[in-house]
C-alpha cells in the first residue's frame, strides 16, 4: 500500500515553518524588534502563501461564494496583520509561550493563506486600496516607532525601536515608488481573471 505524499506546496511551507521554529533561528529573529517585524513575520506569512497553492479547486469555489473577488479574505488579512504589527503583540510574542504559538499559527493561516487565495481574485480597485493601506501602515507605524521618546516594547531597546521605524519608513518609500511605477507603466492585474474563473467549478 503506497503512502500518499503531501503536495509540493505543503512540503515547502512545512519546511519553511520548521526552519523558522528551529531554536537558533527563532531566537535570532526575535532578538531584535526589526528582525521579528520585517523578517520573521513576512516569512511566516510566506509559508501560508505557499499553502494556498495546495487548496483544491472545489474549496476555492466555495471560498468564492463568501469571499467574492477576495474581499472577505482581504479583511481577514488586514485585521490579523494589524494586530501583529502592534508593539504590545510583538512584546507578548517574545514573553509568553501561548502568544508565540498563536503567532506561528495565525500568521501563516490567517494572513499568508487567505492572501494567497484572495489576491488572484481581487480586482484592480480592491488591490489598489489594499496596497495603499499597506504602504500607509508602514508610514504610520514607522513614524511612531521612530519619534517615540519611550520604549513601546519592554523586551526591546529604544535604539532597536528607532531602527525599525527608520526601516519601515524606507520600505514604505520604496513601495510607494513601486506603486507609482505600476500605475504609470505597469499593471496590478498580475494574474489574469480568466485564469481564476477558468478553474473547474463542481456542478451542484
Q: Grid coordinates 489576491 are at which residue?
A: 119
Q: Count CB-CB contacts under 10 A for residue 112.
A: 26
Per-residue pLDDT of the chain (204 residues; tens, 9 = 90+): 445 677 888 889 999 999 999 999 999 999 999 999 999 999 999 999 999 888 888 877 777 777 777 788 888 998 999 899 888 898 899 888 999 999 999 999 999 999 998 888 887 888 888 888 889 999 999 999 999 989 988 889 999 999 999 999 999 999 999 888 877 776 655 444 444 444 444 444
Quick one: cell of 73? 479574505
Render 149-167 in DSSP notation, one character per residue.
Answer: SS-S-TTS-HHHHHHHHHH
Give the C-alpha separation, 58 to 12, whole Å. Answer: 22
Domain locations in the chain as residue ranges: 10-53+67-188
Answer yes or no: are the C-beta atoms of 73 and 112 closer than 8 Å. Answer: no
**Shortest CA distance to 145 belongs to which of 167, 178, 123?**
167
Amino acid at each position: 500500500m503506497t503512502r500518499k505524499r503531501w503536495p509540493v506546496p505543503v512540503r515547502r511551507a512545512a519546511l519553511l515553518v520548521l526552519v523558522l521554529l528551529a531554536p537558533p533561528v527563532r531566537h535570532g529573529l526575535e532578538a531584535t524588534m526589526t528582525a521579528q517585524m520585517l523578517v520573521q513575520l513576512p516569512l511566516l506569512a510566506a509559508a501560508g502563501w505557499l499553502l494556498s497553492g495546495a487548496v483544491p479547486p472545489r474549496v476555492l469555489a466555495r471560498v468564492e461564494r463568501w469571499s467574492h473577488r477576495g474581499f472577505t479574505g482581504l479583511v481577514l488579512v488586514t485585521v490579523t496583520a494589524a494586530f501583529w504589527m502592534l508593539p504590545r503583540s510583538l512584546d507578548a510574542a517574545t514573553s509568553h509561550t501561548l502568544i508565540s504559538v498563536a503567532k506561528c499559527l495565525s500568521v501563516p493561516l490567517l494572513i499568508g493563506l487567505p492572501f494567497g487565495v484572495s489576491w488572484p481574485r481581487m480586482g484592480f480597485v480592491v488591490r489598489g486600496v489594499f496596497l495603499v493601506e499597506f504602504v500607509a501602515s508602514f508610514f504610520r507605524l514607522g513614524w511612531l516607532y521612530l519619534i517615540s521618546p519611550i520604549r513601546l516594547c519592554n523586551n526591546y531597546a529604544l535604539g532597536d525601536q528607532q531602527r525599525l521605524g527608520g526601516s519601515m519608513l524606507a520600505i514604505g518609500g520604496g513601495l510607494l515608488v513601486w506603486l507609482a511605477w505600476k500605475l504609470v507603466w505597469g499593471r496590478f492585474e498580475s494574474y489574469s481573471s480568466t485564469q481564476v474563473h477558468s478553474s473547474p467549478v463542481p456542478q451542484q
